[in-house]
Amino acid sequence: MEVIRTPAAMTAWSRAERAGGRSLALVPTMGCLHAGHLSLMAAVRERADRLAVSIFVNPVQFGPDEDFATYPRTFEADCQAAEEAGVDVIFAPEAAAIYPPGFQTMIRVKDLSQGLCGASRPGHFDGVATVVAKLFNIIRPQLAVFGEKDFQQLAVIRTMARDLDFGVEIVGHPIVREDDGLAMSSRNRYLSPAERQAALCLYQALESARRQAAEGERDCGRIIARLSAAIAAEPGVRLEYLKIVNDADLRELKKLTDSALLMMAARIGRTRLIDNGYLFPERDILQNS
Ligand code: AMP
């Protein structure tokens, strides 16, 4: 496995692979790799001749009061895990190589970037879209995989790739969870044991919503009120948003449809976590079949 640090060397590597007739899949990450990331790699390993993973904690997608400086960086362990997962190349550039002096171009996917996480993290999805566009241009993969854990991000990237004719197939991958249901996240390592326990309220809310839907409840307002009350009762948890949206455009729904998606973000102590899922989980099966 190669580790490449500069955009020029990455582009040269990828160009040589293409010249040899080999296809390339990309898994963009911020490192601190866990089983969720490895599952993304496994999902596309057989779909392309070469597998590239980028590891880049992208400064422009963090707000001034967010955890850019303290975001966990575990590069040595990441390289080992990636090698074991059959990765061919890691692209791990310095921030100055991605944003050299004079950099001033940002990509904005207008509507999709506004609500949900975009409301509390202004500019976040512009930072995400911009860095992913740069990764696509530097690496030129045929396909790239993104987790449904960050459902809004996946929607933003799909739209950007389509609107700007990147010609990169965007593959979505289901959320990978711990045994007790907590969605895997690099930020879970910030949680104290008590916070780790409290964080389960997000998955429990999703399960409760699914039960209500299965029992015939169709009114989104009533479901949201019940879930919000349950989360509010959890000590140390502050709900940021909890919404039921349509999966295609992420607009809020009043009545459940078969594409209804519960999306939530909460602070568990100082740690911000997100989770989501379809209210009718058979949708997951349909989507991924
Ligand atoms: P990150 O390193 O957090 O930027 O994540 C890199 C990619 O892995 C993104 O496409 C995430 O959506 C995806 N990802 C992170 N955690 C999970 C998870 N628990 N299940 C599925 N995908 C995930």
pLDDT at 282: 75
Q: How far is the CA of 152 from the centre of ligand 1 (A)?
A: 12
For residue 124 and ligand 1, the question of a CB distance below 6 A is answered with no
CA distance 155 to 109: 10
Long-range CB contacts for residues 242-245, cutoff 8 Å, separation at least 24:
242/205, 243/115, 243/116, 244/209, 244/220, 244/279, 245/116
pLDDT higher than threshold 70 for residue 114: yes
pLDDT at 47: 96
SS3 196: helix
Q: Return the active site residues.
A: 37
For residue 212 and ligand 1, the question of a CB distance below 6 A is answered with no
Q: In terms of Cα–Cα distance, which of 240, 47, 261 is closest to 149?
A: 261
Measured at the CA of 50, the angle between CA 44 and CA 55, to 5 degrees, comes to: 75
Ligand 1 closest atom vs CA 37: 8
pLDDT at 284: 54
Q: For ligand 1, atom 12, which residue shows the shortest CA distance? A: 147
**Contact yes or no for 131/105 (Cβ under 8 A):** no
Ligand 1 closest atom vs CA 33: 2
Q: What is the pLDDT of residues 237-256, one digit of tens each?
A: 999 999 999 999 999 999 99
Q: What is the pLDDT of residues 260-287, one digit of tens each?
A: 999 999 999 999 999 999 999 875 555 5
What sign does the CA torsion over 241, 242, 248, 253 have? negative
Structure tokens at 259: 């594409």
pLDDT at 287: 52
Radius of gyration of the chain from its Cα atoms, rounded to whole angstroms:
19
Q: How many CB atoms lie within 10 A of CB 258?
A: 12
**pLDDT exceeding 70 applies to what percent of the chain?**
98
Q: How far is the CA of 22 from the centre of ligand 1 (A)?
A: 26
pLDDT at 155: 98
pLDDT at 281: 82
For residue 144 and ligand 1, the question of a CB distance below 6 A is answered with no
pLDDT higher than threshold 50 for residue 289: no
Q: What is the pLDDT of residues 121-149, one digit of tens each?
A: 999 999 999 999 999 999 999 999 999 99
For residue 29 and ligand 1, the question of a CB distance below 6 A is answered with yes
pLDDT at 283: 57
38 CB-near residues (< 8 Å, 6+ apart): 81, 85
Residue 87 gets the label, from left (phi > 0), alpha (psi -120 to 50) or beta, of: beta
The predicted model gives 84-108 an average pLDDT of 98
Does the pTM surpass 0.85? The reply is yes
Best substitution site from 26, 30, 40, 273 to test ligand 1's pocket, by max atoms within 8 Å of Cβ? 40
Q: 271-278 and 260-268 as β-strands: parallel, antiparallel, unpaired?
A: antiparallel
Query: Which segment of 11-20, 159-168, 278-287 scores lowest on mean pLDDT?
Result: 278-287
**Contact yes or no for 81/33 (Cβ under 8 A):** yes
